[in-house]
């Protein structure tokens, strides 16, 4: 294996074109077999369903070089299932879950020289996505679709080490009651862009959204689930029908219960409870855990673990899960898929 000539330790979290990507097309009621191709250009009608009515969904996962030199990916079967759920809600054809996993592994294998070496902090990020490709002028689902998987080497989410971030409670909504908050639809992210830019302009890294019905219960941010630690070391995470089921959060819950022996609660969390937590973190594929140092709720501020570093419980959770991903710690059966 001959790695590409990249400055692996100084990669940013940004797109770099790689050699191959997977493309499959849905036409006349069925998917074709799909191919790996060098062509990175997408050509669609000016009236394609995705351009008119935002009929698209996506996923995100990573491939890693482990401590012993293997190349692996982490729980792609859950990404396949989540995309299937997204497609059903958006009236898009489901791409077979087993074929989804195989396509992910094939893309990694075809771009094996772009998988960063162990110890650099970098990984290979995979972005599976699907969109309506045929012309649609009336408000209805497209008749044809394209499913693609691209990959790109990315640097660590935190350059220079993990530092706690400052977030705010938002007055805006991320999702509607009984809407699309629990699927990974592109439209969910489009509607959050104005608010994240405003948050950055106001000195915050992210927005924490409250439940859209009462604006009293903690939900999630625009791109990550939220987890908390109580004074007695209990892991608490919000439960709601409008929260995206994060694969990282579900994995951290398993790590907490089964590896660290922690008590875990998945329940509604009223914003008034923020004063009772000693640690807070945002969890997702990109960073695994982003420690939160401070949450601002208008005229109130809540500081966690002094606001200067990741707390001890979050550190254990982070080290254990990344240890599994990097092969330093044995993972539960079925979590790690090796590329051979």
Stated pTM of the model: 0.96
Task: State how far the Cα of 279 lies from the Cα of 61, in Å rounded to an integer.
Answer: 26
pLDDT of 287-301, one tens digit each? Answer: 999 999 999 999 999
Residue 166's beta-bridge partner residues? 294
pLDDT of 61-84, one tens digit each? Answer: 999 999 999 999 999 999 999 999
pLDDT of residue 159: 64
Other beta carbons within 10 angstroms of residue 326's beta carbon come to: 18
205-217 mean pLDDT: 96
Which position has the higher pLDDT, 161 or 323? Answer: 323
Q: Residues 21, 38, 76, CA angle at the centre, nearest 5°?
A: 10
Binned at pLDDT 50, 70 and 90, residue 158 comes out as low
- CB contact at 8 A, 43 and 134: no
Binned at pLDDT 50, 70 and 90, residue 156 comes out as confident
- CB contact at 8 A, 48 and 135: yes
**Does the structure show a pLDDT above 70 at 136?**
yes
pLDDT of residue 2: 74
The dihedral through the CA atoms of 197, 202, 206, 209 has a sign that is negative
pLDDT of residue 161: 67
Q: Residues 268, 270, 276, CA angle at the centre, nearest 5°?
A: 110
Q: What is the mean pLDDT of the chain?
A: 96
Q: How many CA atoms lie within 13 A of 61 on its CB side?
A: 28
Catalytic residue among 184, 231, 271, 340: 184
Binned at pLDDT 50, 70 and 90, residue 340 comes out as very high
Q: What percent of the chain has pLDDT over 90?
A: 96
- CB contact at 8 A, 91 and 26: no
Which tokens belong to 234? 């209990």
**Does the structure show a pLDDT above 70 at 129?**
yes
**Does the structure show a pLDDT above 80 at 99?**
yes
Annotation marks residue 184 as catalytic = yes
**Does the structure show a pLDDT above 60 at 1?**
no
pLDDT of residue 325: 97
180-209 mean pLDDT: 96
**Does the structure show a pLDDT above 80 at 96?**
yes
Binned at pLDDT 50, 70 and 90, residue 157 comes out as confident
pLDDT of 40-65, one tens digit each? Answer: 999 999 999 999 999 999 999 999 99
Which position has the higher pLDDT, 260 or 157? Answer: 260
Task: State how far the Cα of 182 lies from the Cα of 85, in Å rounded to an integer.
Answer: 9
Buried residues in 224-244 as b, exposed as e (16+ CB within 10 A):
bbbbbbbeeeebbbbebebbb
268-276 mean pLDDT: 98
Task: State how far the Cα of 152 lies from the Cα of 21, in Å rounded to an integer.
Answer: 10
| 185 phi-psi bin (left φ>0, alpha ψ -120 to 50, beta other) | beta
Q: Residues 118, 124, 126, CA angle at the centre, nearest 5°?
A: 155
270-282 mean pLDDT: 98
Cα separation of the two ends of the chain: 12
Which tokens belong to 175? 């999702």
241-247 mean pLDDT: 96
């Amino acid at each position: 294996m001959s790695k590409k000539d990249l400055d692996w330790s100084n990669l940013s979290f940004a797109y770099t074109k790689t050699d191959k990507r997977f493309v499959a097309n849905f036409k006349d009621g069925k998917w074709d077999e799909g191919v790996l191709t060098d062509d990175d250009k997408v050509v669609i009608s000016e009236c394609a369903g995705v351009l008119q009515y935002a009929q698209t969904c996506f996923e995100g996962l990573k491939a890693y070089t482990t401590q012993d030199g293997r190349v692996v990916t982490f729980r792609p079967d859950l990404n396949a299932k989540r995309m299937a759920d997204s497609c059903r809600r958006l009236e898009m054809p489901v791409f077979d879950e087993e074929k989804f996993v195989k396509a992910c592994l094939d893309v990694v294998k075809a771009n094996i020289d772009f998988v960063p070496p162990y110890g650099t902090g970098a990984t290979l990020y995979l972005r599976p996505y699907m969109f309506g490709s045929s012309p649609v002028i009336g408000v209805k689902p497209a008749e044809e679709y394209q499913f693609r998987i691209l990959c790109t080497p990315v640097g660590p989410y935190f350059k220079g080490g993990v530092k706690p971030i400052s977030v705010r409670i938002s007055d805006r909504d991320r999702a509607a009651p009984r809407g699309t908050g629990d699927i990974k639809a592109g439209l969910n992210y489009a509607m959050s862009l104005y608010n994240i830019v405003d948050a950055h302009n106001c000195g915050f890294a992210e927005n924490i959204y409250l439940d859209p019905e009462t604006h009293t219960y903690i939900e999630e941010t625009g791109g990550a689930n939220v987890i908390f630690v109580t004074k007695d070391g209990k892991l608490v995470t919000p439960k709601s029908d409008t929260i995206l089921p994060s694969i990282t959060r579900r994995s951290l819950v398993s790590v907490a219960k089964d590896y660290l022996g922690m008590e875990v609660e998945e329940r509604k969390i009223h914003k008034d409870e923020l004063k009772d937590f000693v640690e807070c973190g945002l969890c997702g594929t990109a960073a695994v855990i982003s420690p939160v140092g401070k949450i601002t709720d208008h005229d109130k501020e809540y500081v966690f673990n002094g606001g200067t570093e990741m707390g001890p419980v979050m550190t254990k959770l982070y080290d254990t899960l990344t240890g599994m991903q990097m092969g330093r710690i044995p993972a539960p059966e079925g979590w790690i898929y090796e590329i051979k």
